Structure formats: C-alpha cells, structure tokens
Amino acid sequence: MTHLSDIEIARAAKKLPIQEIGAKLGIPAEALLPYGHDKAKVQQSFIKGLADRPDGKLILVTAINPTPAGEGKTTTTVGLGDGLRRIGKNAAVCIREASLGPCFGMKGGAAGGGRAQVVPMEDMNLHFTGDFHAITAAHNLLAAMIDNHIYWGNELGIDERRVSWRRVMDMNDRALRDIVVGLGGVSNGFPRQTGFDITVASEVMAILCLARDLDDLQERLGNIIVAYRRDRSPIYARDLKADGAMTVLLKDAMQPNLVQTLEHTPAFVHGGPFANIAHGCNSVIATTTALKLADYVVTEAGFGADLGAEKFFDIKCRKAGLRPDAVVLVATVRALKMNGGVAREDLGSENVKAVAAGCANLGRHIENLKQFGVPVVVAINHFTTDTEAEIAEVKEHARRHGSEAYLCRHWAEGSAGIEELATRVAEIADSGRAQFAPLYPDEMGLFEKIETIAKRIYRAGEVIADKKIRDQLRAWEAAGYGNLPICMAKTQYSFSTDPNLRGAPTGHTVPIREVRLSAGAGFVVVICGEIMTMPGLPRHPAAEAIHLNEAGEIEGLF
C-alpha cells in the first residue's frame, strides 16, 4: 500500500528515455519525433511501412455505469498493460489525451492512478504535443474562411442564419457559448449569432480520431457540412477549399504520441473526442499502429459500457475494421453498492446485499457486451474497504452471467497486483473465441438503428421522436447518409435517460431531443437530454491555486 498521492508517485517515477520505450516496440529512434525526453510522435512514414504486418490482439477496457464512487477504468487499462508485460507479453496501452481547459476549472485528470499511471502527467494535462492546439487552429481556420467567404460576396450562397460551424477554444469559457460576431461596421463583415464550443467537442477532433491516414483525414474534413443555403442544400468544407489547409495544420497531430507507464510499458496517448456528441475513443491511427507493433493492445472507451463500449464497437471498430478479442469490464465494490442504492457516505461499511442488488448493473453490461460476440472478463478494482464477502458476491454474479471476475490490486501494487487478470485475458484473447460483429448492419434505417441500441442495450420500451426529427432522419437517408452509424448522446449514469435511475432498469422511454449530422466524422448524433459543449468555470477555479513552486514544479493542477 502506498500513501503517496498520484502526482507524488508520478514525480518520483524514474522514466526511461522515450527511445528505449520505442525500442520495446521495435520503433527505431529515427522514426520517433521526440518532444522532450519523455514524449514522442511516431513518424507517419514509419507507420505506412507497417501495413503488411499482422495485427496483435485488441482488448477493450470498459466499465459499469459510473458513480461518484469511481471505477478506475483508465487505471485498469494501464495496470492491465503493465500486467501483460509482467507475464512476458509484448503489450501496449492506448488511451485518450486530456483537454487542457477543464484542468483550470476543477482539478486536472490524471492518466490512471496509484501505481498504474501514464507519465509525464503534467505535460499530458497541459499542452502535451500540441495536438489539441492544432485541432483548434484547423477548426477555427474553417470558421474564418466561412465568414470571409460571406464578406467577399458569398458566391456559394451561404444562408448566414444557417451556418452550423461554430468556433472552438480549449478553455472553459461560458461567456463564449452564445455570441454575436461581425459587429463594428462594414469592414468587419455581417453580424450573426454563433458561439464557441470546447475543442474536444469539435467535429475535427472526431475526424482526426477516426481517420485511417492523411488522405482519409482530408477526405473527411472536406465532407464536413458547415452551413446551408436558403434552399437547405448543404455547403461543405470542400466547397470553401479549406480541407487542404486543415490537413496541413493537422499533419503532425495525426502522428500518435508515445509515452510510458510507471512500469515503462509503451503507451499511446492520442486523440480525445467527447464521449457524448462524439464516440469517445482514442485515435484509430494509434490503435492500428499499436496493433502492428505489439502482440496485445489494451485500450479503453469513454463512460460506461452502454455508451462507450457500444460506440467503440459500432463506430470505431466498424469504421476501422478492428476486431476486438476480449473485453474487460471494470467494477468496484463501492460503485456496485451505489448502484444497489447505498449513499456515498455509507460506502465504508460492509453491505453484501447492496452489492448483490448493484450487480444487476454488472450483469446487464456482461449480457450486452456478449451481444457483440466478444468474451467478457470482470476486473474488480480493489479498494481497502472491500470485504471478502462482498468480493465473493461480485465473483458469483459474474459467474452466473457466464463471465468470470478477478480481484485486481494494480492501484496499490502495480503489475504485481493484476497478474491473474492479465494471464486470463491473454488466454482468452489467444483462444480465438471472439466472433465480433457490430450490433446492427450499415443498411438498417437510421431510426431503426436508434431503436436497436435503445432496446437491445438500454432495454428501453420505446423511443419517442417528433415528426420533425423522423423527417430529418429520412431526409438524411435520402441524401445518402442512411448507412452511417448512430452516436448516442445521453447520460452516462444510467441505462436510461434519467441519471438517477441506477441498477438495470427496463421498459423505460428514450426521448430524442435533437439529431445532428457529423458528415465528416461519419455518424449521426442522437441527443437525449442536455448536452453541454462549452463548460464554465466554478466559483473558485482550480486556476486560482495553480502555480510553480520553488523547485519549478506545478502545484494545484492535481
């Protein structure tokens, strides 16, 4: 057991030079573009040369519905990577990059925790290798080109009231949510109402994370719908000739970032799309590159399995042709107790009955994940307050749902605490048992796809949508977008659209509030509930306490 904080552990870590981490995957030093001594990008040209190699095994880490008690999905992803290395496997980890802005609101998110972390932590929560800044620049170049086109005569006939492309900033700035631009007279353009989203909500982020290579990136950027004419016909980024310059701005950002875990396991940290209006996974290019270089690639998806894993399978795997070999479903006794109705302040005392009740949530996720044809193992991320009886209860439930659960102590012990799970996951991945298939075929109608997700994954009784929304979906089908997958945006806290409905509800109603077409990323976003795409700062932002101490270290960020 350790009593050090995550940041203390991370700072005490002895990092290897990034070239040595690359060497573990057979990446020659000249194919690594270093950013300092502990970060690097893997060069595009090197990645191109890997095409003919066989792929390693792909392992997804997902979780039960999140609660304030914490599940430790990233911690388990990192720990499992370290555990696989410990038992002699050539493993790599793939996770998302963090957004800079929110770190100045609430405390910054670490990459994992305890003895299962990715480093350098400070860099990863600040500018890192500049990917998000590049996305911001590419997004805002397109925005500037739209208003500039209107300014110089509007040859394309853009309806200024129907410009859907907003601007982005990697900052929590509520004052920018809803703004009027172009004031001040003739030389500043035509006034119109618009706003800023946070960078991770940009469609450019989703595109970068789904693009197979630079050509595919440019193609998708060109496909972005930026506005409509008065006759409702769409105007694409390509029509503004913005796709080439955006690709140039994103050229470096498309190269996956390599860092390391505390135990020197290679970790790709690349891309970070929103998990609600986007698909919430690290980049396709990082995952496919890792699969060429490692025998086992451990990756994760955002939120709980109902949202994150479903999108991982139905969007990322479908689009990139990935075939996952195993799923690890992370649960904690504490989170299961909360799903079983226990209040946060009572989590410290044993309550096997509540664990059993909460396991309904666990069981539902196991059943769901099996629908995709991928074997599921449960990782019980250990807390010191867990009792033997509670752990036994979880294991029993997993068994009853045709799965198996392993207690994991990677947070406290690093790879030594997760050997059993790592061994079993490697066996399952090697067994060839997985028969992955997405939940629905491309050809299914858009509304039917939504119903399929809602009924088979959320176990809803019905999906309700007014005529306007159904008409919109039909119009997109007529325009050739019917083959796109669905990207659901709903609360992460419940299978239903009610965040307070924990456990395993059935027969509920899923109301669709809005649908959006991300024609560049290649999915239809279905919004069920309030989605905030530009956060605000709290009354006392973390920024007030963030500073450099006398040793030049960052204080207050974590």
Q: Which is nearer to a copy of itself, 475 or 545 (CB)?
A: 545
Q: What span, in angstroms and rounded, lies between the C-alpha atoms of 224 and 158?
A: 15
Please name the residues in contact with 406: beta carbons below 8 A apart, sequence gap of 6 or more: 377, 378, 379, 380, 420, 421, 424
Q: Is 383 a catalytic residue?
A: yes
Q: Which residues pair with 59 in a beta bridge?
A: 298, 326
Tell me the number of residues near a copy of itself by CB under 8 A. 76
Exposure class string for 310-321: b at 16+ Cβ within 10 A, else e: bbbbbbbbbbbe
Of the ranges 1-9, 187-195, 379-387, 432-440, which one interacts with a copy of itself (CB under 8 A)? 187-195
Residue 325 CA neighbour count, 13 Å, CB half: 19
Annotated catalytic residue, options 73, 292, 337, 364: 73
Q: Is 275 a catalytic residue?
A: yes
Q: Is 48 a catalytic residue?
A: no
Q: Is 75 a catalytic residue?
A: yes
Q: How far is the CB of 197 from a copy of itself (least distance, A)?
A: 13
CA neighbor of 280 nearest in space, from 200, 180, 346, 334 = 200
Q: What span, in angstroms and rounded, lies between the C-alpha atoms of 434 and 94?
A: 20
Is residue 45 part of the contact set for a copy of itself (CB under 8 A)? yes
Q: Which is nearer to a copy of itself, 34 or 438 (CB)?
A: 34
The footprint of a copy of itself on residues 326-365 (CB under 8 A) is: none
Angle of CA points 451, 454, 458, to nearest 5°: 165
Q: How far is the CB of 124 from a copy of itself (least distance, A)?
A: 13
Residue 5 CA neighbour count, 13 Å, CB half: 9
Is residue 46 part of the contact set for a copy of itself (CB under 8 A)? no
Annotated catalytic residue, options 104, 274, 313, 411: 411
- 8 to 37: interface string for a copy of itself, x by CB under 8 A: ----------------------x--xxxxx
Residue 364 CA neighbour count, 13 Å, CB half: 27
Polymer length in residues for the chain = 558
Residue 54 · residue 65 · CB < 8 Å: no
Q: Which is nearer to a copy of itself, 208 or 333 (CB)?
A: 208
Phi, psi of 503 (to 5 degrees): 80, -130
Is residue 533 part of the contact set for a copy of itself (CB under 8 A)? no
Of the ranges 2-10, 62-70, 509-517, 531-539, which one interacts with a copy of itself (CB under 8 A)? 531-539
Which residues are known binding-site members? Answer: 67-74
Annotated catalytic residue, options 63, 137, 201, 275: 275
The footprint of a copy of itself on residues 114-173 (CB under 8 A) is: 126-127, 130, 133-134, 136-137, 140-141, 143-145, 147-148, 151-152, 167, 169-173
Residue 286 · residue 47 · CB < 8 Å: no
Q: Which is nearer to a copy of itself, 177 or 370 (CB)?
A: 177
Residue 113 · residue 72 · CB < 8 Å: yes
The footprint of a copy of itself on residues 215-244 (CB under 8 A) is: 218, 240-242, 244
The footprint of a copy of itself on residues 192-211 (CB under 8 A) is: 193, 195
Q: Is 165 a catalytic residue?
A: no
CA neighbor of 226 nearest in space, from 139, 131, 137, 151 = 139
Q: What span, in angstroms and rounded, lies between the C-alpha atoms of 80 and 63?
A: 14
Q: Is 14 a catalytic residue?
A: no
Q: Is 543 a catalytic residue?
A: no
Which residues are known binding-site members for ATP? Answer: 67-74
Q: Is 89 a catalytic residue?
A: no
Residue carrying the six token digits 């003919």: 52
- 68 to 107: interface string for a copy of itself, x by CB under 8 A: --------------------------------x---x---
Strands 91-95 and 296-300: parallel
Is residue 529 part of the contact set for a copy of itself (CB under 8 A)? no
**Active site residue ranges:** 73, 75, 96, 107, 275, 303, 383, 411
